[in-house]
Structure 1
Amino acid sequence: MRFIHAADIHLDSPLIGLSAYPDAPAQMLRSATRDAFTNLINEAIEQQVDFVVIAGDLYDGGWKDHNTGIYFCREMGRLKKAGIKAYVKFGNHDAESEMTKKLVLPDNVHTFESRKAHTFIIDELNVALHGRSFKDAATTENLSQSYPDPLPGMFNIGVLHTALGVQSTHANYAPCTLDELQAKGYQYWALGHVHEYQMWQGHSTIVFPGNLQGRHVRETGPRGAVLVTADETGVQKVERLFVDVLRWHSVNVDATSCSTMPEVVHAINRELETLVQSGPPNMPSAVRITITGKTPVHGELFGMEAQLRAEVLACAAAIAPERLWIEKVKTATTASDETEAIRARGDALADLQEFFEQAQTDPDFLDSLKNDLMGLVSKAPLELQNAVPCFKDIRSGELSGLVGEVRPGLVSQLARME
């Protein structure tokens, strides 16, 4: 027996972080979750699996119109023609309370009710699937406790949408523990809600397949479902199926050895070339570049995000314009501390450095600086005031740290400009 276990499909959910840029792949952003789901159905048909399990968050909330449901019915119709059934549990994003529109689904699709846990039996395979859908999005009770005991002589699958009680980055819905699931006596737990692939093996095999398609830069790397092979003795194999159509990457570029912006750009170019060469052929990538390191070029990079992004876009266009999309370029460098070398010069630059060192603890200077900067802060839009961390320091008058942070880069840059 073989079945596919998928979860967290979030049909028609937008991909976040690229749509604001004119060079973004607009059509791909709109259709990525559907395209990944179509790839999943293709795999199910080609692999000739016995059934498909969807463990919650098939949808991303209420439909804007019926097109989302019509698309899903079409894909389920393809499964029906191939003789494949689907078993669907609804999670927090597609709970009954979230769905204002519905369609009658093809008869090969079986959905778990929300009033109580119940069981679907596939007699010809000796399989029992136990599950309970969410009635409300914020379901905080331990649903697994209401699941029935395993049926003797059957391969028992628990379908559950849960944070498993330990996933701090996800809302703690339907909390339970690994020990509770292992003690239930099912052969397999098909979980959903956590978007990263995880598997635990013991008396039960417990799996989060992750989501089908990464939707932003916090969901990097390959995405998909799992193909489970089992027999009368239990689970024999769990294989990952990658069906995503656009892959997110977060690339750190160490600029420690760089002394000019062109050198930084060359370092970024090398990382992008490596990414393209090591990735699957024809797989588009959305990339966030973060420049790190204690580097002499810190001062030159300060405030040059727009220019740096243009340089990186040019690199991507030269390497693989149809496969590389730059989500963001961030600067997280620190200045090389050249304090002693500059102090030994004994010139005007050394005097400026000493002035900054004294200014960090000079209350009159800090008050004057606050008054000057408050004019800038007060004119900034509210969203910018909330987004820029140093604005909070300016309003509170805590400027000593800001002066200390700026000093090494500013003095270093002035020395380089000579």
Structure 2
Amino acid sequence: MRFIHAADIHLDSPLHGLSAYADAPADMLRNATREAFSKLVAVAIDEQVDFMVIAGDLYDGTWRDHNTGIFFCKEMGKLRRAGIPVYVLHGNHDAESEMTSQLQLPDNVHTFSTKKPQTYRIDALKVALHGHSFKDKAVTANLAAAYPSPVDGYFNIGVLHTALEGSSAHANYAPCTVAELHAREYQYWALGHVHEFAMWDEASTIVFPGNLQGRNIRETGRRGAVIVNVSEADKLSVERLFIDVLRWESVIVDASGLATLDEVARAAGRALEALIERAERPVPHAVRVTVTGATKAHGELFANATQLRAEVLAQIAAISHESLWLEKVKVTTQPIARALPASNEDGAADALADLHGLLIEAESDPEFIAMLKERLITLASQAPAELQKSVPELEYVRDGDLAKLVSEVRSGLIAQLADAE
């Protein structure tokens, strides 16, 4: 038999990071999670799987738009007509959703209880699925500890939404350990909550399929679900299914050997073109370009962030505007270490040295940092989208990281002034 294991679908969750830009693919951003889920349902039907497991976070929190739930019912209807049952476990986001408790689902959809662990048997396949849905958003108890013993003679699947040993990137809900899951002696654990793919294959096969569709720049790379094939001897294989319809990527451009903004922009264009050429299928990409390294261009990049972004956008337009969008250009370069200009008649070198020293002291001066935050917080909070784009350093003000702001301004300002001198 074979089944699909998916998790963290987050239907109708907004994709963040592109919507402020005029060239953003608005329709794709709005419908990406739905399109990815429809693709998953189509694969389930084409592959004639025996059932599907959704291990939590089908919905995305406190959504009140019932069109989201109606869309899910429509997709489940397709599986019902194909004779494919679906076993759904509620995760922390589902526990927040009004749709979770209000909508009636098609009769091929089986939802695990929120009161205690529940077992569904598929006698024709000799399969037993065990699961315990979240009743509340923040479940900090070890739910796996109360899961039942495996059913003799059956292929046992544990369905669980968990941080699993406290994944640092996700809230520590339903924590447990890999060793505890192996000790249950189930053949397979279908996990959800952690958005990155992970697998342990020992006494049990334990799998996080990752989320179905990346939603922001923190969720880069290929996304999807898994299809599990089980032989008559209970030998299983796990195959990844890449379902995402828009992919987030991070591209690093090393500017160490480059001297001008134009050279950096051309290097970014080459890196972006290589990214598109490496893609195994023509999935649109949303990309963050990060410029690194100690470079002669540091001062120019610092002073002309808006121009750099425009130059990178021009490179993208020349490559393929239909398959590539820019999320952000981030400059993390450093100036090449060098002596400040020698003293001259007007004392410019001394002034630069004094300014450099004052800015270093300012980074650790609590009174200066507090004053700076007070002066800038209104601007950072209320600035229009166009200004936010052209001055990305405002994010440091909103985050309260004023010392980092001063540090970045210091290195760029001194480099720019030294060049001018």
TM-score by length of 1: 0.89
Give the drift of 1:230: 1.1
Residue ranges of structure 1 left out of the alignment (5+ in a row): none
Q: 1:388 aligns with which of 375, 379, 396?
A: 396
1:251 CA displacement: 1.1
1:174-222 per-residue CA deviation (whole Å, 9 max, x = no partner) reads 1111111000010000000000000001110000000000000000000
Greater displacement, 163-172 / 185-194: 163-172
Letter in 2 for 1:299: G
Matched ranges for 1:173-322 at <5 A: 173-322=173-322
Instruction: State which drifts further: 280-289 or 213-222.
Output: 280-289
Secondary structure at the counterpart of residue 272 of structure 1:
helix
| Aligned counterparts of 1:186 and 1:107: Cα–Cα separation in 2 | 27
Task: Go from structure 1 to structure 2 and tell me whether the alpha carbon gap of 1:14 and 1:374 turns closer, same or farther (over 3 Å shift).
Answer: closer
TM-score normalised to structure 2 length: 0.88
Of 408, 413, 416, the match for 1:413: 416
Q: Percentage identity across aligned positions?
A: 57
Greater Cα offset, 12-21 or 210-219: 12-21
**1:15 paired to 2:15:** yes
Q: Distance in 2 between matches of 1:167 and 1:259?
A: 41
Using the TM superposition, give the Cα deviation of residue 374 of structure 1 relative to its aligned residue in structure 2, in angstroms.
Answer: 8.6
Give the match for residue 89 of structure 1: 89
Distance 1:370 1:49 in 2: 59
Amino acid at match of 1:75: E
**More deviation, 315-324/348-357:** 348-357
Shift, 1:314, TM fit: 1.2
Which amino acid counterpart does residue 413 of structure 1 have in structure 2?
Answer: Q
CA distance 1:308–1:185, shift in 2 (3 Å): same
Is the deviation greater in 280-289 or in 42-51? 280-289
Q: How does 1:352-363 map to 2 (within 5 A)?
A: 352-356=351-355, 359=358
What whole-Å deviation, never above 9, does each CA across 1:80-136 have from its counterpart, x for those lacking one? 111111111010000277547622211111111111111110111110000011111
Stretches of structure 2 that go unaligned for 5 or more consecutive residues are 384-392
In 2, the alpha carbon distance for the partners of 1:372 and 1:133 equals: 49
> Counterpart of 1:380 in structure 2: which amino acid?
L
| Cα distance, 1:231–1:372 mapped onto 2, change above 3 Å | closer
Tell me the CA shift for residue 312 of structure 1.
1.2
Give the corresponding residue for 1:327: 327
SS of the residue corresponding to residue 248 of structure 1 reads strand
- Match of residue 31 from structure 1: 31
AA partner of residue 318 (structure 1): A
The structure-2 alpha-carbon separation of the partners of 1:235 and 1:216, relative to structure 1 and needing over 3 Å to count, comes to farther
Q: Which moved more, 1:354-363 or 1:297-306?
A: 354-363
8 Å CA contact 2:64–2:98 kept in 1: the answer is no
| Secondary structure at 1:210 match in 2 | coil
Which secondary structure state, in structure 2, belongs to the residue aligned with residue 269 of structure 1?
helix
User: Do the aligned residues in 1 keep the contact of 2:128 with 2:154 (CA within 8 Å)?
Assistant: yes
